[in-house]
Amino acid sequence: MSTVKKPVDLPTELLHHIGGKDVPSVDGATFGVSDPVTDTEYGRVAAGGPADVDNAVAAARKAFTEGPWPHLSDRERAKVLVRIADAIEARADRLAELETFDTGLPVTQAKGQAHRAAENFRYFADVIVAQHEDAYLAGEKQVNYAIRQPAGVAGLITPWNTPFMLETWKLAPSLASGCTVVLKPAEWSPLSASLLPGIMAEAGVPDGVFNLVHGIGESAGAALVAHPDVPRLSFTGESGTGQIIMRTAAEHLKEVSMELGGKSPCVVFADADFDRAVDAAVFGVFSLNGERCTASSRVLVQREIYDAFVEALAARASAVRVGLPSDPATEVGALIHPEHYARVLEYVEIGKQEARLVAGGSRPEHLSSGNFLSPTVFADVPADARVFQEEIFGPVVCVTPFDTEEEAVALANATKYGLAGYVWTSDLQRGHRVARAVQSGMVWVNSHNVRDLRTPFGGIKASGVGREGGAHSIDFYSDLRAVHIAVGDLTPPRFGVARP
């Protein structure tokens, strides 16, 4: 049996945090949560329902309408965000320890996520201080300008794959904008979120500004989406859930931002830097255990180098170190949950019928238990194969040949998804052409997934609605209001007056 390094002082009971207090569910309901190495329950989590969401929204609404947070100056809020970042960095090792235990992510990668989480707050502290709007002089008689005001209570629903970093990705801009929030973390990985109440209190965030409700998506998540006092809803998760959220949110015409699934292509032309393209393809699909929305899970390779690339990719996949998440040498850890593990294994079996298995496809021999899968490579994958079309969300990659640039673009666009894309070529003009032609919200040319926080993040087609990142996040969590002021003799037309 695989062993797991259990964190010291591991919480065995996780409560909601509402109005500055840790509280159980109104009805006392809980659910169990397990680690992905032993699949053994380590604790109980408060199972939120509509009543708990109502309480959290009421606390957030009160903090918004009666509290100081929305009325602080941008600089004052920025100072609090910087203190939040400091508190996160002070807990970076603890965050990585909890996240690795809870999600199965390799500890070295979890540490990187903790530092990125702190940077989210530092970045948005800078954004709100530097933000500005234009003013317009309409002739000599009127000045027009725009002001931003926080939208109100923001509902934040986050996924299980890199939970803490993605929680901060939503928390930082919503708080920076002056909103109050209700966060619903993923039920499979709630552990690192338990540090947030302490972080917020230490940084001086007023009670009620940050609220946390644990629970199952169909109960707590659905109640948050449907709540009439939550005008903004940000969700990261799978596309089917996103469709349900859009239908529910439409009843109250609330604004939604959703980053959904992906099946991102990595297009490798024959003139590409071969070794770097292999490095990028391996890292792009096997980092974070393959449980990442922007994973380059479809590698499209020009036929002149196809056989050599498949051979190199298979060899590298076979050499990837699969092991205990707490081991610094591990590159791929355990998949998050037995249900997800079973789903990924089902796709592996489907792939064996649809394509040629050249690496992986089974449990590593040295790990007799736990949710472990050897990095898996399928070659000669047709475009109509399920493993080509459907998001697997695990360490599984499909490789498909192409002959021409036009065929490469057609294959890249031949799925319902459109989140990310990667292009490898030494021809810069072709890189520009293909980047414009690939139907996705983000494209990297001759680069792996390195993203500046100022750039827009999001997808098209079934991969999402809206954009976040940089000023786009502030746009989402703010109401933009135009103000028109007469500075001269601006006489309005006179209706209802007798004319000579």
Active site residues: 259, 293
Cβ-based neighbours of 189, under 8 Å, separated by 6 or more: 33, 99, 102, 103, 160, 161, 163, 336
Surface-to-core class of residue 472, CB atoms within 10 Å of its CB (0-12 exposed, 13-18 middle, 19+ buried) = middle
